[in-house]
Structure 1
């Protein structure tokens, strides 16, 4: 029976320890685009920093609200005063004048004994701003607008990081497919070199054709090496935007056959972009924050009315401080009006600073609107161009394949030259590469356009 319980315990222990391992194994498979976006939203440093800045802005709102809430302070203290024995000179009575009857004094040294006196106190104070001509409320409104700006900045950061994930994801896929194109080109060049070498050995072609085939193979191998490095760089770039180490293992899922993007109208896209773009809303919020900040700064020139209540207890006996609350206490009520007459032009500087902040945000808004229109136009033109290139290249690819087939046949029967054959091979490789680029760059262009419209998820 004891052995049976040991077996059960070991089985449970293995299952508990093995569950994280199995979970890790599940996460090591190829990642989809949506999974990459989710990982980036959880681990990318820029997203996390922007999110924490929203939290900081929220604390600023709490700080601004504190100005309209009562402020309660408490003080508890206990102490003791001690004075040691001392010798002093003073006038002391020494007798009575027999004639006048007045008391006679003489200056003599006397010794005073030590004194010990306890002191205990308890005090509660409440202060409340009654009226400050809107300074506190405008500071609250300014802080809220700044928080809104931080939230729009966070959303803009999210959009930018999502766009980077899209771009680097498609770039890695493009480089992987181009790697296959160049690998196929190397294999084709190797086979052609073997055929040319065989034909040279039987005297069908000149040795120059062998050298030319070797040169072509060498160039294709160079292209392949460069493309292998491009794949490594693209994988590292995607890892970094996902918040992972650049050299972390990463495999991704290829997208299905690309469907033709829907048609976009320029004015419609610009309208949606101006409505949704987080940067536009951010600068509008910054303008509001500066506007309320200027109102709050101007209110400093006006008086402020504050009220206060104080309850205090003081006694040499600590029991009389903390018991018997119906006596041994003082209550003070007060109201005061304060007006700053001069503080070294600090108020004027605050008003000017907020006014400048408003104009800066206003210029940023105008510049962002211009840049947004330009970015939308560029992205839309790029998307339209790649759609056309993709259609054209479908025809080019078929033509290049047929050209290569005819060149191979002509060269085999001695009617064509190796140069014609190599040219046909290069044209086919270029057509395949262009088709790969068109496939993924079309998706990138569409992602850029959606990001400008604030619709990238």
Structure 2
């Protein structure tokens, strides 16, 4: 089985997935016909045959990391939406209703009265920031870049999951081919055993040859059991990559993977890296994080600048103690003082006070009479805040440097992955060519051994050795073929090449 681990294959992986799916029988069926739209259906009954695209669709829908990535994107969208709304004026309404008893202040006249008063005040306020060092605008740009980075990171996660499913899918195909080879080997041994049995019965071959062939047949049966076990484990790994319970009975569709060519891979490591560094979503996401952090520094610097705010206010109030007075035609005399006379006496002085009638003012009339409006400009100039703004700028710069190091490390890991993949590809090519030559030689040796056994020139032991060597070489060739093809396709993905099988 292939036991190859690739990480961060990048956005080009989806090209491989699509290319593989096109090569599958039935890959062009309508999407509604695939059970991938309902992953829960796989819990109880999996279709008898699954295509690669179906497996990837189920994995993408069931994977927890992808779900978390989508939540991160949703949260980034919300932050961007809120930062845009922060440009709009802030408006709020407030009301106060009070009941006071005893000596109270009439809110309408601000005079003390000895009575119970039911009062209410109402205000509608609006405030808009006209200037704050471009912090609001830069925050929008920063959050937009953060959203784009989250989307790229989600794409990278989807690519990694898809690649893992594709690798396990190919492992299942490898296991199936190795099982088929083991079964064909058993058939060849059984045919040779039947032929030898007839020769022994005719007295043309020793009976010892039967014992050797029966031992070889038993060994072939063991090879089938081992191949079946390996295939079952590959299916379990595929189901686990899809996040589906393993109590499923299914098979996978075959992919027409051609034999690799003999020409060496054309592109070198640097060429592959130059293309990959501009296409992989994890690299794009890291670069976007750097730009977002740089804008974070500008947002922090906005705290050093003055803030200019426009405020508006509408208000009114009501009081149950409010009265409206009107003349009623009566009057009263009220002593206001005395004027001294020469003889030492005093002459009292009176004033005429007109009479009034008092009546309460209605609720809506009070709101109309007490209605007030105001507009103001508020300027706040920071002078000293415990070095808070400076520290925020320093923190933002540290975050920017950390984002730059993360982007640098992402490119470093990418180069190392490409170097490893390229080296593995060359090793896989050498292994495939060597195994291919080995199989060709062993096939000729086996044909000669089979002819000599039939002629009685060699014993069954020599025949069994020749057959076992050929069987092992054929199984190794299948594994080498899938391994080499998969490694070359990974390098193709890095370069965004159109792929096909």
Distance 1:131 1:221, change over 3 A: same
1:276 aligns to 2:279 (yes or no)? yes
**C-alpha deviation, 1:340, in angstroms:** 4.5
Q: State the Cα deviation string for residues 198-249 of structure 1 (Å, max 9, x = none).
A: 8889795586983x65665555444433332322222222223334333333
Q: 2: CA distance between counterparts of 1:214 and 1:302?
A: 92
Distance 1:20 1:265, change over 3 A: closer
Alignment partner of 1:363 out of 386, 405, 417: 405
Q: 2: CA distance between counterparts of 1:228 and 1:343?
A: 73
Q: 1: CA distance between counterparts of 2:398 and 2:34?
A: 56
Do the aligned residues in 1 keep the contact of 2:46 with 2:250 (CA within 8 Å)?
no
1:29-428 alignment runs, 5 A limit: 29-82=48-101, 115-188=115-188, 205=206, 210=211, 216=216, 219-258=219-258, 260=260, 263-266=265-268, 267-316=270-319, 326-341=368-383, 343=385, 345-387=387-429, 389-428=431-470
444-453 or 129-138: bigger deviation: 444-453
What TM-score, normalized to structure 1?
Answer: 0.76
Aligned to 1:93: none
**C-alpha deviation, 1:355, in angstroms:** 1.6
1:442 aligns to 2:484 (yes or no)? yes
Aligned to 1:100: none
**C-alpha deviation, 1:188, in angstroms:** 4.8
**C-alpha deviation, 1:291, in angstroms:** 0.8
Q: State the Cα deviation string for residues 77-133 of structure 1 (Å, max 9, x = none).
A: 43433459xxxxxxxxxxxxxxxxxxxxxxxxxxxx994321223221111111111
Do the aligned residues in 1 keep the contact of 2:149 with 2:289 (CA within 8 Å)?
yes
Do the aligned residues in 1 keep the contact of 2:318 with 2:366 (CA within 8 Å)?
no
Q: 2: CA distance between counterparts of 1:257 and 1:451?
A: 17
What TM-score, normalized to structure 2?
Answer: 0.70
Q: 2: CA distance between counterparts of 1:429 and 1:140?
A: 65
Distance 1:426 1:352, change over 3 A: farther
Q: 1: CA distance between counterparts of 2:115 and 2:238?
A: 80
**C-alpha deviation, 1:342, in angstroms:** 5.0
Do the aligned residues in 1 keep the contact of 2:287 with 2:407 (CA within 8 Å)?
yes
Q: 1: CA distance between counterparts of 2:258 and 2:365?
A: 83
Q: 1: CA distance between counterparts of 2:421 and 2:95?
A: 68
Structure 1 residues not aligned, in runs of 5+: 1-18, 85-112
183-192 or 326-335: bigger deviation: 183-192
**C-alpha deviation, 1:154, in angstroms:** 1.4
**C-alpha deviation, 1:160, in angstroms:** 1.4
Could you say which structure has the greater relative contact order, defined with CA pairs below 8 angstroms and 6 or more residues apart?
2
Distance 1:133 1:412, change over 3 A: same
